[in-house]
Amino acid sequence: MRILVADQLADAGVTALSDHHDVDVRTGRSKDELLADVADYDAIVVRSATTIDADVIAAATRLKVIGRAGVGLDNVDIDAATEAGVIVCNAPTSNVISAAEHTVAMIASLARNIPQAHRALTAGRWERSRWKGTELHGKTLGILGLGRIGSLVAERCAAFGMDLVAYDPFVTPVRAEQVGVTLLDTVEEVLAVADVVTIHLPRNADTVGLIDARRLAMMKPSAFVVNVARGGIVVEEDLAAALSDEVLAGAAVDVFDTEPTTDSPLFALDNVVVTPHLGASTAEAQDKAGVQVAESVNLALDGQFVPSAVNVAGGPIDTRFQGYLELGEVLGRLFGGLSGGLGREVAIEYLGGLAEVDTTVVGLSVLKGLLGSGATQPVTFVNAPAIARERGLHLRETTDTQSPLYLSLLRVSGTDREGREVQVAGTVLPSSGRLRFVEVWNTALDVEPAERMAFFRYRDRPGVMGTVGTILGEEGVNIASAQVGRLDDDRAVIALSLDDEVTTAAMDRIAEQIGADEHRSVSLQ
């Protein structure tokens, strides 16, 4: 497949993509240039310079994934991508260490007036008394946003002997306690007690303008504000006024409302440390971003689940149950093939150990397999729920930690268009990770999924297998394996794994001669 790398990407990232796909590195292009040939690509990788908006997504008719080599996604229209079924992924952990270290560097620079003293000395002025600093030990650090970066900053500042408080409505007190932080209920409470406030929040409708003149006035006159998160969260004009009026002692800012910029009211102030969005600007972070986004793009182009996808419901599944993603998709395909068409509802049951973890993406895998064979558009983890809604298909999911025969079991059931019940189930063998179908048409059996399979439901009697083998032999179709499952009333299901495609005529002929009341050939690819 073809990938367009539209912004500068670390060589390690380009190599990781080129090992699997055709890659064109074409940077610095205008929107018109991008629109002219974006339809030729299956994936686009950007950093922050190129904007992928709704127009670009609409023109990219082959597009399957947009990769952002970094954390922020301000330059990607996620809603338009989701509507088009395009996965959007980033490199969420690539810069966390670099950003945390830069934050700590900014805090230390503020506390000890390092940039100001440097400027004075190199200009020929020995101003030792003017740039007297303050110790961090014993001071209170207030963290707004206790995610990955905020937690790393907390760990590092704890080593200075600082007291740690934070506001984050999405973090539990238990998690905060693990990193030695006391959670407070509001932003205002943090501002009131902190000697240093550091911001680690995303930029969104709730956070733009969050730290304004009113909230700055709640802080101690001796306090510092540090923003290495996103521009616009702190109102620059209000911050400049607060610093000029000695409402605050100082600020350190790495991000701005408009970037790039060389004009801000903050630049003229001696009690401000500024850097040009350097939080992620380390060689290590850039390499990590390139490699991480390349790995995600490769997964997406291979049709697999992408843990860093931002527009897919659910997060990564527990590694112990990773095989159930593949099993879910093949069970969905099997259910669709056996039912011959969709009813109004499909039920998914998660049994045993599988019921104890987040199975959201397993359900998406089932939908992806179920809808994929009959769709006129590619079905992905992104658009599967929307396609199901369009078709009037309702998904019902249940969990039960009890599974009498297997450590974990995944079952899919429902009715076909004629109202007949269809039920299939499978498991992943814990010793080998191999997939097994253990129920087909409500009948217990044990068969490994194969690319081409055929199923017959009939009344069991001698000679059936011989008849099946004879007819398939005459058709030049080799049987790789065959498994029979029986019900108590001597009804049976035979599952055949085939090396070759079998014609409808051959299937009908077998069904007639063995007296099968139902038969299906199914492709699981």
Selecting from 3.60.15.10, 1.10.287.70, 3.50.50.60, 3.40.50.720, what CATH number does the domain 96-274 have? 3.40.50.720
Specify whether 137 is catalytic.
no
User: Is the pLDDT higher at 478 or at 310?
Assistant: 478
C-alpha 373/C-alpha 335 separation (Å) is 11
Mean pLDDT of the chain: 92
Q: Which CATH superfamily is domain 313-440 in?
A: D-3-phosphoglycerate dehydrogenase; domain 3 (3.30.1330.90)
User: Partners of 347 in the beta sheet?
Assistant: 396, 413
Residue 465: strand pairing partners: none
pLDDT tens column, 367-388: 989 988 665 566 888 888 878 8
Name the more confident of 320 and 424.
Answer: 424
Asked if residue 492 has pLDDT above 80, the reply is yes
**CATH code reported for the domain at 451-525:** 3.30.70.260
The answer, yes or no, to whether residue 94 has pLDDT greater than 80, is yes
Read off the pLDDT band of 17 (50, 70, 90): very high
- Whether 277 is catalytic is yes
- Decide if pLDDT at 318 tops 90: no
Q: What is the spatial distance between Cα 234 and Cα 252, in angstroms, rounded to a whole number?
A: 11
Residues of the chain with CATH 3.30.70.260: 451-525
pLDDT tens digits, residue range 345-371? 899 999 999 999 989 889 999 998 998
Task: Give every CB contact of residue 415 below 8 A, 6+ residues apart in sequence.
Answer: 339, 343, 344, 345, 421, 422
Pairing of strands 491-498, 479-486: antiparallel
pTM of the model: 0.66
Q: Where in the chain is the domain with CATH 3.40.50.720?
A: 2-93+284-301, 96-274
What's the CATH number for 2-93+284-301? 3.40.50.720
- Of 47, 68, 200, 277, catalytic: 277
pLDDT at 341: 67
Out of 259, 390, 451, 512, the active site residue is: 259
The residues of the chain that CATH labels 3.30.1330.90 are 313-440
Q: Is 345 a catalytic residue?
A: no
Token digits of residue 516: 């099968």
Catalytic residue, chosen from 102, 200, 230, 519, is: 230
Percent of the residues in the chain that have a pLDDT greater than 90, as a whole number: 75
What average pLDDT does range 97-117 have in this prediction? 97
Q: Where are the beta strands (DSSP E) in 231-291?
A: 250-253, 272-274
Helix residue ranges per DSSP H, 123-244: 148-158, 173-178, 187-193, 213-216, 236-244
Token pair listed for 15 = 């190599």
Radius of gyration of the chain (CA): 30
**Residue 328 DSSP label:** H
